Structure 1
C-alpha cells in the first residue's frame, strides 16, 4: 500500500471520524456541563443564591468526575453506552464516554469564566431589578463570551486527545488507526502520520479559537 492509498483509504476516513467524535462530544459536554456550572455560580458564597451545602456537594462531585481516569471510564460505561447507542464500539459509541468524561471539565471552565465577570456589572443589573436568570444569561454569559470561547477551544483540544485514547479500545478514529495499523502491523510511518494529523488538527482549532476570542473581546 503506497502513501496515497494510506491517506485516502485509511487516514482520511479516520480523520473525519475523529472530527465527528470530538465536535459532537464537545457540544454535548457543553450542554450537560452548563447545568452544574450555573448551579455552582448560583450557590457559591458570593453567588446570587448562596448555598454552602449545595455548592460543597457539587464541588466534590465535579472534582471526582473530572479526575476520573478516562480509559477506565470508557470501560465502565460499556454497558451504558451499549444501552444508549446499541453498541459499545465505534465512533458513535465513543461519543458517550467522551461527553460524560468531559462534561465536569466543561462545568469547571464555565464556572471560572462566569466568575471573571465584573461584580459591578452584576450589581448594576440587580439595581435595575433583573432576575437571577436574566443576570446569568443576559449579563454574565454575554460578558463571559470570550472566556467561554477559550474554554470551548481548550475542551475541544482535550477531547481530540481523549478520542485518540478511545481508539485504543475500539472507539475508531486516528487512535484506532495508530494501534491497528501502526503498532500491531509494525508501521511506524502510519503512527507518525496520525500524530502529525492530530497536531495539525489541534493547531487549526487553536487558531480558530484565538480568532473568535479576539473578535468577541472587541
Structure 2
C-alpha cells in the first residue's frame, strides 16, 4: 500500500473521530437536559407540566423517526447556513448532532425511569427543591444508565458518520466509497471496516469502564 493511501486512511480516521467527538459532545450537552425535562415534566413528577411534556415528547419522537440519510438531505439549507457548506466533516456534524439529541434524550429519560420514586419522595420530605432533587438525587442515581446511553449514542454516531461519508461528509465512509467501492479495491474496504470495528470496540470498552467506576462510587 502506498504512503499516499496510508495518509488518506489516517486523515479519514481523524475526520471520523472529529465528527463523532463534536457531535457526541454537543448532543450530550443538549440531549441530557432534554431527557431530564421529559422526565420531570410528566404528570405527577416534581415539575409536572403536561402540555410542555407533550410538546417535548412529540418533537423528540419526530427527531427519532426521521432516517438519518433523509435528515441529512432535508436540512442541507440549515447546514449551509450554519457552517457555510453542505459537504465535508463540519457539514456532517450538523445532521449528526440533530439526529443524536433526541436519541440521547430518550435514553436519559429511560435511565431516570429506573430510579425508585421513594428516593425523590424522601428528598421532598426533607424540603429539597426540584432543582436540588435533579442535581443531587436524579442525576447521581442515574449516572450509570446515562453513561451507558451516551456510549450507545457514540457507537451509533460512528455508523452514522460512515453513512454521512457516502454523501460527501468525509471520513471513513467517504474513503470506503471513493477508494474502495468505486475503484474496486477490496483492501481499502476491509481496512475501512476494520478501523470502524476497532473504534466501536474502543468506545464501548471505555463506556463500560466508566459505568463500572460510577457504580463503585
TM-score of the superposed pair, with normalisation by structure 2? 0.95
Query: Displaced runs of 4+ in structure 1, greater than 6 A?
Result: none
Which sits farther off after the overlay, 152-161 or 121-130?
Answer: 121-130
Listed one character per residue, the Cα deviations across residues 111-159 of structure 1 (whole Å, up to 9, x for unaligned) are 1111212222111111111111111122110111111110110000000
Distance 2:81 2:98 in 1: 15
- Give the aligned partner of residue 142 of structure 1: 140
Which range moved further: 56-65 or 68-77? 56-65
Q: Which of 181, 185, 189 is 1:191 aligned to? A: 189
Match of 2:68 among 63, 67, 70: 70
Give the distance between the partners of 2:4 and 2:87, measured in 1 at CA: 25
Cα distance, 1:4 vs. partner? 5.4
State how far apart, in whole Å, the 1-side matches of 2:159 and 2:28 are: 17
**Distance across 2 between alignment mates of 1:3 and 1:66:** 42
- Equivalence for 1:161: 159
Q: 1:144 to 1:131 in 2, by over 3 A?
A: same
Matched position secondary structure for 1:185: coil
| RMSD of equivalent CA atoms | 1.3
DSSP 3-state at the match of 1:89: coil
Local SS of the residue matching 2:166: helix
Distance 1:38 1:213 in 2: 19
Q: 1:76 to 1:189 in 2, by over 3 A?
A: same
Q: Aligned residue pairs: how many?
A: 216
Give the equivalent residue in structure 2 for 1:175: 173
- Taking the aligned partners of 1:201 and 1:46, their CA distance within structure 2 comes to 42
Deviation readout 1:56-82 (Å, 9 max, x if unpaired): 222222112101010011111111111
Please, which runs of 5 or more residues in structure 2 have no aligned partner?
Answer: none
Partner of 2:30: 32
2:192 and 2:38 map into 1 onto residues whose CA distance is 39
In the alignment, what sits opposite 1:6?
5
Partner of 2:81: 83
Q: Name stretches of at least 5 consecutive residues in structure 1 with no aligned partner.
A: none
Superposed, 1:44-63 pairs within 5 Å as 44-63=42-61
Which secondary structure does the structure 2 equivalent of 1:169 belong to? coil
